[in-house]
Structure 1
Amino acid sequence: MPARLIDRYDHVPETNEDLDWADLITLDLGLYDQDNGKEKLVKQLDHAVRKVGFFYVKNFNIPQDEVDRQFALGRAFYALPLEEKLKYHSSSDLERGEYNGYRPAGHRVLGNGIRDNVQVYNIPKFDGHHHRQQPAILQDHIAEIEAFSRKCHTEVVEKLLRLFAILLELPDEDQLVRDHQYDVRGEDHLRYMHYAARGAEENKKVGGLYSPGHTDLGTVTLLFRQPVAALQILNSEEQWKWVRPQDGTITINTCDALTALTGGLIKSSIHRVHAPPQDQAHIDRLGVLYFARPNNHVVLDPIQNSPVLQRLGLATNAFTEIGQHLTTEQWVKVRQTQQQRRRQEANISTDGRYTYAEKDLEIVPGLQAKIYN
């Protein structure tokens, strides 16, 4: 049978509201292959990853029409009837930390009786170790999806890993790349993410948030530009700032595994998803993201051969300080199990502060997840 036709995806207009935007650097990956280009990029990157953990990249060799095709595929999936999407959902999988496939909205109660408004569909990287049935609308275009997934890795993730290696003064700039090989078993995945617009009264009951402040668990997250303003970051002055959707860019945030590998030098970025501003409050928000993680066998202890970490005395992390030497596979499983748990409701104050019971935030004994208010 011929592949199902996918309509062109046109992005909605950006907000016209005067929001308090974050001041983030933009790395021009067009410099990457130029003389001294990587060194110039590292100088830009240094402050961003130590202080905030968020930055943009541009000129990343993935044409906008290919990005828009992924948005169109995500839209086509979410347009399926719920009973069709639920064929790719398993509550028992989520409870044991298996996060690929579909998660419907309403899986968790945020607080005050309001359930989450986000649908997630995760497609694992094509490393030969994640065999999953896909819905026909995606399976018909699976070669295109794989090509996009691989480009995210080679054109963006691997280049950033080399920049991080230079920042850490590692003897081989490919050291981190070898720990993040696409065709070696790992937990990288592409995600289509759909936030349904909510009414003002419901938003008020959950502090105006779609998702409270948190960090991601991997190495880096790639968030492809979409114009519905909602992402906010906590900057180094402890202020929440909106992240502006910039044309032709990917928003990058650094994550927990990279923080662990660098003994805390590289900051795991703190972010949340706020209800959109008034002129976009009625619009559903569709996201395309790529999550990069170290290969499953990599032990998340601080890197031993970084002169920078040695000079700064950064030889421990949150795992080693409680006697744990977790592999990526172990870390992902325990963190996802905690994240996907059908928790009791948070106690949400009138000013939007989320407080959970300690047992709901326990990842492993001695290590708690953090909610940033």
Structure 2
Amino acid sequence: MPGKTLSPYEQVPETKADLDWAELVTLDLSLFDKPDGKKKLASQLEYAAQHVGFFYLKNFGISQEEVDRQFALGREFYNLPLAEKLKYHNLKDLERGEYNGYRPAGLRQLKENVRDNVQVYNLPKFDGFHDRPQPPVLQEHITKIEDFSRKCHNLVIVKLLKLFAILLELPDEEQLVKQHQYDVKGEDHLRYMHYAARSVEENQLVGDLYTPGHTDLGSVTLLFRQPVAALQILNKQGEWKWVQPQDATITVNLADAISALTGGYLLSSVHRVHAPPEDQSQVDRLGVLYFARPNNDVVLDPIANSPTMQRLGLVSNEFTELGQHLTMEQWVKVRQTQQQRPTKAPKIDAQKYEYAAKDMEIIPGLQAKTYA
């Protein structure tokens, strides 16, 4: 049955603040199936993938109406009473590395009177391995949610993986695609993410950050356009630059698993969420994201048959240097467990978050990082 009618979703106006915007390349995916289109796109992508880890996509095959529907569903979920949302939260599961479902704000103490302001709702991909109850407001639209999830994979992720294969000179353009199959057990998920506005005083206490600098743990993250300026990236010069919302685009960042598979050739991008500028400071920020990850059985060792990587001597990564040969399932488990581990409040100094070493240990010899 079709879901109940949703009221239209309207984004807030963009900021008028004069911010130091990052200069990012925009890939036009309408070129993908044209003669030499993939080679042109791969050439455009090469610098961004190796030096920034962030870029924009346009003409990606998902309509604005479909995107707006997902924002409307996120809005409807977060408008539910907290008691209703908490039915889809299990703290013990979260601490064991199970990240699907609801994570309420306030689980992390940042300062004596300030806790985190981030709510998350994750919907696993529809691969048949992650059945779980959904709140009625989402279940009523579950076919549209699945359609959107599959389009993220088939229309966007698959094409990016083929472009990566071209950059790596792999003998089979489908090699990475085969490691990221939608209907094979994996940890891809769609996310509705909500940041509640804070007072100026609260923001100052926590370094004006909603989320400190970090990398994502999978292959590719898709961030659908929303106009509340907050996302920042760390460039090679150690400078934080704001990511500007561009009409009808997806902002894409690369993450840890694809970096591990490519021996660091593809850069896992460092990014953070800053408090918005003054003219948006009292606006809650709603995001719709899609996280793509290798299938659970993929071993995160550097690819052995890439001529590009062989020429550059990229034969190891952080895992193999420790004698570890983690599958994606193992990596998700240990990284998510570390991320959700109860911690003491960090030391916050000039936007730098410092946690106790034991709170940052992922596996022996490997520490998670936060970035100033």
TM over 0.5: yes
Kindly provide the amino acid, as one letter, of the partner of residue 272 in structure 1: R
1:361 partner amino acid = M
Show the counterpart of 2:236: 236
| Counterparts of residues 170-319 of structure 1 (less than 5 Å) | 170-319=170-319
1:219-274 CA distances to partner (integer Å, 9 max, x unpaired)?
00000000000000001111000000000100000000001000011110000000
Deviations 1:301-353 (A, max 9, x none): 0000000111111100000001100000000000000001121110011x221
Aligned equivalents of 1:217, 1:111: Cα separation in 2: 26
Q: 2:362 aligns to what?
A: 363
Amino acid of the structure 2 residue aligned with 1:338: Q
Structure 2: how far apart are the matches of 1:367 and 1:3? 46
Find the counterpart in structure 1 of residue 139 from structure 2. Answer: 139
Residue 110 of structure 1, CA deviation? 2.5
Q: Corresponding residue for 1:87?
A: 87
Shift in CA distance, 2/248, structure 1 to aligned 2, threshold 3 Å: closer
1:38–1:163 contact (8 Å) kept in structure 2: yes
Residues 144-168 of structure 1, C-alpha deviations (whole Å, 9 max, x = no match): 0000000000010000000000000
Kindly state the Cα deviation for residue 22 of structure 1 after the two structures are TM-superposed: 0.2
Aligned to 1:152: 152
CA distance in 2, matches of 1:253, 1:94: 25
> What amino acid is the match of 2:370?
I
- The residue type paired with residue 183 of structure 2 is D
Whole-Å separation in 1 of the counterparts to 2:320 and 2:369 = 18
Q: Tell me how far apart the structure 2 counterparts of residues 232 and 55 of structure 1 sit (CA, whole Å).
A: 13
Q: Contact 1:195–1:285 at 8 Å: present in 2 too?
A: yes
State the 1:58 CA deviation.
0.3
Matches of 2:144 and 2:296 in 1, distance apart? 25
Tell me if the contact between 1:192 and 1:287 (Cα under 8 Å) persists in the aligned partners: yes
One-letter identity of the residue aligned with 1:107: L
C-alpha displacement of 1:143:
0.2
* Alignment partner, residue 120 of structure 1: 120
Residue identity matched to 1:288: V
Quote the RMSD (CA, aligned, Å): 0.8
- Aligned partner letter, 1:348: I
What residue identity is the alignment partner of 1:76?
A: E
The residue type paired with residue 59 of structure 1 is: N
**Distance in 2, Cα, partners of 1:359 & 1:340:** 13
* Aligned residue type for 1:197: A
How far residue 113 of structure 1 moved from its aligned partner, in angstroms, is 3.9
Q: Secondary structure at the match of 2:337?
A: helix
Distance 2:230 2:2 in 1: 38
Unmatched segments (≥5 aa) in structure 2: none
- Offset from partner CA, 1:33-64 (integer Å, 9 cap, x none): 00000000011100001001000000000000
Q: Deviations over 1:60-113 (max 9, x none)?
A: 000001000000000000000000000000000111000000000001123444
SS at match of 2:223: strand
Question: CA 1:131–1:226 in structure 2 vs 1: closer, same or farther (change >3 Å)?
Answer: same
Number of residue-to-residue matches in the alignment: 372
1:104-137 residue CA offsets vs partner (Å, 9 max, x unmatched)? 0001123444211010000000000001000000
Helix, strand or coil: the match of 1:233?
A: strand
CA contact (8 A) 1:124 1:188 kept: yes
Structure 1: 5+ residue runs without aligned partners? none
Distance in 2 between residues matched to 1:207 and 1:51, nearest whole Å: 27
Normalized against structure 1, the TM-score is what?
0.99
| Counterparts in 2 of 1:141 and 1:361: CA distance versus 1, 3 Å | same
Q: Contact between 2:213 and 2:271, CA under 8 Å: does it hold in 1?
A: yes
